[in-house]
Amino acid sequence: MERILFGDNQFFGVNHASDEKSREQLIKFKKDETIIKTLDIAKAAGVNTFMCTTYDRIANICEHIRNHPEKYVGYKIYPCMPYAHKYANAVTELGILGALKAYMPRNIFTTALKGGMAYLSEDHEKMMELLIDAEMKMFHGVDTPVIFLQNVVTDLLLGMKAYGMLAAFHGYVKKKYKAEAGFITMNLPLLSSVLENLGIEQPIICASINKEGFRMSGGRSLYEKVIAEKKNKVIAMQIFGGGFINADDAIEYIKSIEGIDSILFGASTSDNINRTIQQLNI
């Protein structure tokens, strides 16, 4: 993994500090061309990995990359799935059956209708594999060496103690896509322990890590202890604490922790992108 990764929150109006800023970003990035231009700014500054949710519009970004292979030599995307709002919106707009029909392969959907909804619960791992395949379709022809499970699912499985599903995700991604599995979480200490007990060595874990303990279940000191053990490949996200931590202080803190492999950040302007990358590289 590269030391610095570029994220996508700003493209889709995710801003924890300001609703007004969220609206501004939604307007600014209404067109795909603006997203592509911003990615190119980060790329020109030396960041060649884009970590993003499987939001529908990302398919257009992948299409652009496929159409310009000479421009994106060595460029990588780390998909993060599932994009939960996509399925929630589909259920709202289409109903449960309509949403299933939209995202499931036709033959599986037909079998489910004939066999009743019980079919869908007979093999949870198989259903997970089908959903992964559906999410990954937009990335065909794009280099995706790491595929992440979003924290909304990772932490749900942790809470349910459904640890086998975490192992199944890890195994399927490796077998089907020849990629490493990554896990996003708001509870690094617990996830690290669970994955170690599952026999998964040096798993890739992306977690909130910042000087204020923002979204760090268990607290900053426990996180620092787990990171120092170097049993995981750690990606630090939300290093600015959702926008509440001064950039200089946030970066000084994150660079002081030994054991962090990569840092994920998002920004919407050329100045912020270049300044952040420069500070992280010093």
Please give the pLDDT value at position 31: 96
Nearest to 262 by CA among 245, 241, 277: 277
> Taking the model in full, what pTM does it have?
0.89
Please give the pLDDT value at position 117: 47
Q: Does domain 4-32+145-270 have CATH number 3.20.20?
A: yes
Please give the pLDDT value at position 89: 62
Please give the pLDDT value at position 93: 77
Beta strand pairing call for 76-81 and 4-6: unpaired
Buried b (16+ CB within 10 A) or exposed e, 179-194: bbbbbbbbbbbbbbeb
Please give the pLDDT value at position 64: 98
Domain assignments of the chain as residue spans, ordered by start? 4-32+145-270
Please give the pLDDT value at position 118: 46
Please give the pLDDT value at position 83: 80
Each residue's pLDDT tens digit in the chain (282 positions)? 999 999 999 998 766 566 677 788 888 999 999 999 999 999 999 999 999 999 999 999 999 999 999 999 999 999 999 986 665 565 567 675 565 566 665 555 454 555 554 444 556 788 888 889 989 999 999 999 999 999 999 999 999 999 999 999 999 999 999 999 999 999 999 999 999 999 999 999 999 999 999 999 999 999 999 999 999 999 999 999 988 899 999 999 999 999 999 999 999 999 999 999 999 997
Please give the pLDDT value at position 119: 47
